[in-house]
Amino acid sequence: MSKVLLDIDHGVATITFNSPQNFNALDDAMLADLLVAVREIESRDDVRVVVFRGAGKAFCAGGDIAMFAAAGDKAHDAVNALGPGIQYAVHWMRHTPAIVVAVVKGAVAGGGLGLMLAADVVIASEDATFAVAYARLGTSPDAGASYFLARTLGYRKALELYLMSERLDGTAAKALGLINFTAPAMSLDAEADALIRRLAAGPAVAYGSAKRLFRQAADTGLHQHLDDEIRLFSDNTRHPDFAEGVRAFLEKRSPKFAAAVTLENA
C-beta neighbour count of 171 within 10 angstroms: 13
- pLDDT (0 to 100) of residue 166: 84
Print pLDDT tens along the chain (266 aa). 899 999 999 999 999 999 999 999 999 999 999 999 999 999 999 999 999 999 999 999 988 777 777 777 887 887 788 889 999 999 999 999 999 999 999 999 999 999 999 999 999 999 999 999 899 889 999 999 999 999 999 999 999 999 999 899 999 999 999 999 999 999 999 999 999 999 999 999 999 999 999 999 999 999 999 999 999 999 999 999 999 999 999 999 999 998 656 666 55
| Distance between CA atoms of residues 141 and 62, nearest Å | 10
Domain edges within the chain: 4-200, 204-250
- pLDDT (0 to 100) of residue 124: 98
**The Cα angle at residue 157 between residues 155 and 158, in degrees rounded to 5:** 65
Q: DSSP letter for 155, please.
A: H
- Contact status, residue 45 vs residue 19, Cβ threshold 8 Å: no
State whether residue 235 is helix, strand or coil: helix
- pLDDT (0 to 100) of residue 127: 96
- pLDDT (0 to 100) of residue 66: 78
- pLDDT (0 to 100) of residue 65: 78
If one looks up domain 4-200 in CATH, what number appears?
3.90.226.10
The model's pTM is 0.94
For 146-167, b/e burial (b = at least 16 CB within 10 A) is bbbbbeebeeeebeebbeeeee
- pLDDT (0 to 100) of residue 214: 96
- DSSP H helical ranges for 97-203: 110-118, 134-137, 145-153, 155-164, 170-176, 188-200
Strand duo 181-183 + 121-125: pairing:
parallel
- pLDDT (0 to 100) of residue 260: 59
| Distance between CA atoms of residues 204 and 202, nearest Å | 6
Order of all β-strands in the sheet with 107-109: 58-60, 107-109, 129-131, 167-169
Architecture of the domain made up of 204-250? Orthogonal Bundle (1.10)
